[in-house]
């Protein structure tokens, strides 16, 4: 017979202190409790830095290929296919029981010179060949593909605000539907994502791209082009105008069309925030928390991906170094020594505010 005293003692011992509960909570576990998937982009840096890889293994439920599955990485020359780095990430995701997103099959930016030197007919042939070979290689292994990245870029002054580049030059705007249909015919189980930048800010770029992206989604659906998700990159810009309630309404409108919404490249450009690290981290956390609280409350938002996990490997750091800047950016939930930052806490708190839509079992790699 257990005495009341023993019962209370047992309860006290098993009850985890709030502080410890937060410590044991990870971005992945906090997300999963409210029906979200949390992931991060990953590249070779994680394989050269075991403690960084351990951070992915602990904090994420999904890996996203940062550069390894991009056209310029897979096809450094017309005669070579460089699958090594991508295969390594696929194998690692499988070994770690993680979901995997492929980024990105078709992007008019960052095209290698050899591709741009081809005739338009040749570019079309390379387009079809690339999709067929890459999608077939990873069929059944990916949660989702960024099939087309950043279709719009008004600064290229093309009619309709389309981003210029070899694919657009060779096929016009029709390259988008052509890509989605071809991927679906090769891997019918992978979720097909249209991924776009800038929509989160209220600059001229954001105001111009948002309606164009929504109209493209509507046209694709009207034509019966297979489309499962819209990725909104959400590289938040501290120096740009923003209206997150308006952005949340835009996200809801997109979701109402029956597509999933992915916050697909989340980080914070902190350039407008104070230089002092503690103040800057607090400002980044406030911005990230406000944004995520609003969008995570939308049921169609299904995943949040940060663009790397640590400031040490952020693309903003590469930009700062190339620009010869002395102040290094602090855009991510973990710092240069992989220490958790205020942004991580703010993200967990934002996830917790999401109306609970049903627990999502931490999904492991499975054939879709
Ligand atoms: O790894 C090589 C290194 O061996 C070589 O010495 C060096 C020479 O410059 O290049 C290194 O590769 C770099 C690669 O990142 C890995 O760090 C490439 O130069 C560099 O161009 C590449 O930049 C990536 C960029 O996309 C272009 O692919 C960034 O890391 C990546 O964060 C960025 O991500 C994009 C998304 O795909 C689309 N949305 C915007 C986002 C940020 O620009």
Distance 295 CA to ligand 1 centre (A): 28
- Identify the burial level of 136 via C-beta atoms within 10 angstroms of its C-beta, where 0-12 means exposed, 13-18 middle and 19 or more buried: exposed
CA distance 227 to 241: 30
Q: Is the pLDDT of residue 30 over 50?
A: yes
Is 260's C-beta closer than 6 angstroms to any atom of ligand 1?
no
Confidence of residue 24 (pLDDT cuts 50, 70, 90): confident
Residues 6+ apart with CB under 8 A from 212: 152, 160, 161
The fraction of the chain above a pLDDT of 70, given in percent, is: 90
- Which region among 17-21, 216-220, 274-278, 350-354 has the lowest average model confidence (pLDDT)? 17-21
Distance 43 CA to ligand 1 centre (A): 10
Is 196's C-beta closer than 6 angstroms to any atom of ligand 1?
no
Confidence of residue 72 (pLDDT cuts 50, 70, 90): very high
Is 237's C-beta closer than 6 angstroms to any atom of ligand 1?
no
Taking the alpha carbons of 239, 247, 208, 124 in that order, is the dihedral positive or negative? Answer: positive
Is 110's C-beta closer than 6 angstroms to any atom of ligand 1?
yes
Specify the pLDDT at position 182. 98
Tell me the pLDDT of the chain averaged across its residues: 93
Specify the pLDDT at position 22. 56
Specify the pLDDT at position 365. 43
Specify the pLDDT at position 224. 98
Distance 7 CA to ligand 1 centre (A): 57
> Ligand 1 atom 21: the closest Cα is on which residue?
110
Residue 69's alpha-carbon distances to 21, 142, 329, in angstroms, are 37, 12, 26
Q: Is the pLDDT of residue 288 over 70?
A: yes
Q: Which of 223, 227, 219 is nearest to 179 (CA)?
A: 227
Specify the pLDDT at position 364. 47
Are the C-beta atoms of residues 144 and 194 closer than 8 Å to each other? no
Is 185's C-beta closer than 6 angstroms to any atom of ligand 1?
no
Q: What is the pLDDT of residues 143-188, one digit of tens each?
A: 999 999 999 999 999 999 999 999 999 999 999 999 999 999 999 9
Is 233's C-beta closer than 6 angstroms to any atom of ligand 1?
yes
Q: Which of 360, 193, 367 is nearest to 265 (CA)?
A: 193
Distance 312 CA to ligand 1 centre (A): 14
What average pLDDT does the segment 191-197 reach? 98
- Which region among 1-5, 118-122, 136-140 has the lowest average model confidence (pLDDT)? 1-5
Is 234's C-beta closer than 6 angstroms to any atom of ligand 1?
no
> Ligand 1 atom 29: the closest Cα is on which residue?
315
Specify the pLDDT at position 73. 98
Confidence of residue 367 (pLDDT cuts 50, 70, 90): very low
Q: Which of 196, 262, 315 to mutate to test the pocket of ligand 1 (most atoms within 8 A of CB)?
A: 315
Confidence of residue 358 (pLDDT cuts 50, 70, 90): low
**For the CA atoms of 222, 223, 226, 229, what is the dihedral angle to 10 degrees?**
-40
Specify the pLDDT at position 37. 98
Specify the pLDDT at position 64. 98
pTM of the model: 0.93
Closest atom, ligand 1, to C-alpha of 314: 32
| Helix (H/G/I), strand (E/B), else coil: 289 | helix
What average pLDDT does the segment 206-217 reach? 98
What average pLDDT does the segment 36-59 reach? 97
Is 67's C-beta closer than 6 angstroms to any atom of ligand 1?
yes
Residue 121's alpha-carbon distances to 86, 116, 310, in angstroms, are 28, 12, 42
Is 267's C-beta closer than 6 angstroms to any atom of ligand 1?
no
Confidence of residue 194 (pLDDT cuts 50, 70, 90): very high
Is 76's C-beta closer than 6 angstroms to any atom of ligand 1?
no
Q: What is the pLDDT of residues 297-352, one digit of tens each?
A: 999 999 999 999 999 999 999 999 999 999 999 999 999 999 999 999 999 999 99
């Amino acid at each position: 017979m257990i005495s009341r005293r023993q019962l209370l003692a047992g309860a006290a011992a098993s009850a985890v202190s709030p502080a410890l509960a937060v410590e044991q909570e990870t971005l992945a576990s906090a997300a999963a409790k409210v029906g979200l998937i949390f992931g991060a982009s990953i590249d070779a840096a994680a394989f050269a830095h075991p403690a960084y890889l351990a951070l992915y293994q602990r904090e994420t439920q999904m890996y996203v290929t940062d550069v390894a599955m991009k056209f310029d990485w897979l096809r450094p020359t017309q005669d070579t296919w460089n699958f090594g780095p991508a295969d390594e990430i696929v194998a690692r995701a499988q070994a770690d029981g993680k979901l995997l997103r492929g980024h990105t099959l078709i992007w008019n930016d960052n095209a290698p010179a050899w591709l741009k030197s081809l005739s338009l007919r040749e570019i079309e042939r390379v387009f079809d060949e690339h999709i067929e070979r890459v999608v077939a290689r990873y069929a059944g292994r990916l949660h989702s593909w960024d099939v087309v990245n950043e279709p719009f870029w008004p600064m290229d002054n093309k009619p309709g605000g389309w981003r210029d580049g070899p694919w657009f030059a060779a096929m016009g705007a029709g390259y988008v539907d052509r890509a989605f249909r071809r991927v679906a015919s090769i891997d019918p189980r992978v979720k097909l994502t249209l991924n776009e930048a800038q929509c989160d800010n209220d600059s001229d770029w954001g105001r111009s791209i948002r309606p164009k992206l929504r109209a493209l989604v509507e046209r694709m659906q009207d034509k019966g082009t297979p489309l499962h998700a819209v990725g909104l990159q959400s590289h938040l810009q501290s120096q740009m105008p923003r209206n997150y309630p308006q952005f949340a309404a835009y996200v809801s409108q997109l979701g109402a069309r029956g597509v999933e919404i992915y916050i697909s490249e989340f980080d914070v450009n902190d350039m407008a925030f104070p230089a002092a690290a503690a103040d800057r981290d607090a400002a980044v956390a406030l911005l990230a928390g406000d944004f995520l609280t609003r969008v995570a409350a939308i049921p169609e938002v299904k995943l949040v991906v940060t663009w790397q996990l640590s400031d040490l490997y952020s693309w903003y750091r590469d930009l700062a170094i190339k620009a010869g800047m002395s102040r290094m950016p602090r855009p991510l939930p973990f710092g240069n020594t992989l220490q958790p930052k205020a942004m991580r806490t703010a993200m967990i708190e934002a996830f917790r505010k999401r109306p609970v839509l049903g627990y999502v079992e931490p999904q492991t790699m499975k054939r879709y």
